[in-house]
Each structure stands twice: as structure tokens, then as C-alpha cells.
Amino acid sequence: MAKFPTMPDLETEVELPQIRHIQTSDLSDALKKGVDDFREMPTHAFFVALIYPILGLLLAAAIFGNNILPLLFPMMAGFAMLGPVAAIGLYELSRRRELGQDITWSGASQVMRSPAIGSIILVGLLLFGIFLVWLAVAQALYLAIFGAYVPASLTGFLRDVLTTRQGWMLIVIGNAVGFVFSLVVLAISVFSFPMLVDRHVSAAVAIQTSIRAVGANPGTMILWGFIVAALLAIGFIPVFFGLAVTLPILGHATWHLYRRVVGP
């Protein structure tokens, strides 16, 4: 079993957990268990997820107000990068239900007192940094293709993007670059946050474990990434509020997928 030095003491080695191989059926099973958790704890999950669409509405309003429409889609796509941070409470709820413990919101909030809270914050800041880099790259790409021109309305912006050669170039290159960012975030965070909720380990160990798990199951985890993206896109359709359902289901499902992939 591989070993990895912790950040506080490079002379101390910790055993990294066993990584299991999973199949498409495991993704389906994780989603079913995620739905089951959501049904058992709808009030708490809804409360956590409601913060997410409200923030989305505020950010969208800010974008329209400042007339920086080119960043609207990158901002929406970037929510997937910050989703694991928003799902911390959901992982804790699933963990507590699994152990037969208190599944009220006050019980789930105990995660904030976890010995690993420093590592959770550190990984969260890393994801936020990647999110900011993604926005900067998206802005630079738009400027490289369209220059300084910005349409005055959403309708004009959509027309330019969907009906011009430059617009389709932006779509193709932008999605390709976004896919790379998404893969990086997926590898870093998909299992690191559940692991930090579950165990007292350093951020480095959690990230290393998550990368190993994705590397051991590349095809299955890329499919999981597409499932996450599709459900988040569905959640965006009804003015962001669909996320109040899709986000908690994905959060609970990710916990159960973590249980299948990461061994003791």
C-alpha cells in the first residue's frame, strides 16, 4: 500500500487507503442511494442546497448589472467546481445516517468542528483559486476572439455566439478548455472532501487519494463527471432553483461512491 508524507511532519508517513475499481453499475447504485438519502432528509438537504441557487441568482444579477455577459456561462459552469465545497454538510448527513446518528441540521453542523476542518478549508481555497483562474482564462479567450466588443443585451450576445464563426469558435475552444479544468477539479476534489469528512487526514493525503481513485477508474469517473454536469445543467434550467434538488442528490450520491471506491 502506498505511503505519503503529511504536511506537518515530512518524516511521518501515513498509509494511503486501498482504491477499489468500480463499474457503471456502481454509479447507478450511488445515485439511487443519493435519492434515498434525499428522501429521508429533504428538509436539511434543501436548506443546504438553497444557498447555492440564491448565490447563483445574485451572481447572475451582478453580471447583468455590470454588463459583463461573456462571463455568464463561465460563471454557471464554474459552479460545478465549487459544488464539492457546498456539499460538505450533505456528506456529513449521509455519514451520520449510515452510522445511525443524529441527522438533524445541528448534528450535521458538527462537521465544522472536525479535526480536519483546516484541511477542508485549504482544499476549498484551492478550488476557489482554480475557479478564479478559469474565469480569467474564459475572459482572455473571449477577448482573443471577439476583442473588446460586448453586446448590450443578452439577446445580442446569444445571437453573436450562436450565429457567427467567432461565436462557434468560442463555444468549441471554451468547452475544450473547460473540460480540462473540470477534469482537474474532479480529480482533486471528488473524493478528497468526503474523505476529510470521514477521516482525520491532511489535505495532501485527501487530494492524493482522490487523484489515485480517479486514475484507477478513468472511464467510469469521466462518466460520473458528465452525469454531474448534466444534473447541474438540469438544475440551472428553472432559474437555478432546480439545484435545490439536484445538488443534494449529487452530494449524497458522491458520499456513497466514495464508500465504494476508497477502502479502509
Instruction: Average the pLDDT over 85-111 and give the result.
Output: 82
Share of the chain above pLDDT 90, in %: 45
Please state the domain extents for the chain.
43-261
Instruction: Please say if the pLDDT value at position 95 is more than 70.
Output: yes
Q: List Cβ neighbours of 126 (8 Å cut-off, separation of 6 or more).
A: 188, 203
Q: Are the CB atoms for 26 and 220 separated by under 8 Å?
A: yes
Under 8 Å CB-to-CB from 219, ≥6 apart: which residues? none
Confidence (pTM): 0.83
Q: What angle do CA 30, 79, 245 make, to 5 degrees?
A: 45
Amino acid at 102: D
CA distances from 208 to 2, 19, 63, 108 (A): 10, 11, 36, 26
Per the CB < 8 A criterion, the answer to whether 207 and 188 are in contact is: yes
pLDDT digits (tens, 9 = 90+) for 16-26: 889 999 999 99
In eight-state DSSP terms, residue 42 is H
**pLDDT for the residue numbered 9:** 42
Predicted local distance difference test score (pLDDT) of residue 65: 57
Q: Which of 245, 194, 250, 242 is nearest to 226 (CA)?
A: 250
* Residue 75 pLDDT level (bands cut at 50, 70, 90): confident
Largest CA distance in the chain: 59
Cell numbers 468542528 correspond to 113
Return left, alpha or beta for 100; rule: phi > 0 is left, psi -120 to 50 is alpha, else beta: left
Q: Residue 217 — φ and ψ, nearest 5°?
A: -135, 60
* Identity at 123, one-letter amino acid code: V
When mean pLDDT is compared across 1-10, 56-65, 99-108, 188-197, the lowest value belongs to 1-10
Instruction: Convert the pLDDT of each residue in 123-152 to its tens digit.
Output: 999 999 999 999 999 989 998 988 877 776
User: Which of 234-253 are b and which e, b meaning 16 or more Cβ less than 10 Å from the residue's Cβ?
Assistant: ebbeeebbbbbbbbbbbbbb
The angle, 0 to 180 degrees and rounded to 10, between the axes of the packed helices 24-40 and 243-261 is 130
DSSP string, 218-258: HHHHHHHHHHHHHHHHHHHTTTTTTHHHHHHHHHHHHHHHH
Please tell me the predicted confidence (pLDDT) of residue 27. Answer: 96
At residue 184 the predicted structure's pLDDT band, cuts being 50, 70 and 90, is: very high
Distance CA 252, CA 258 (A): 10
pLDDT digits (tens, 9 = 90+) for 29-74: 999 999 999 988 876 556 556 666 666 666 666 555 556 777 778 8
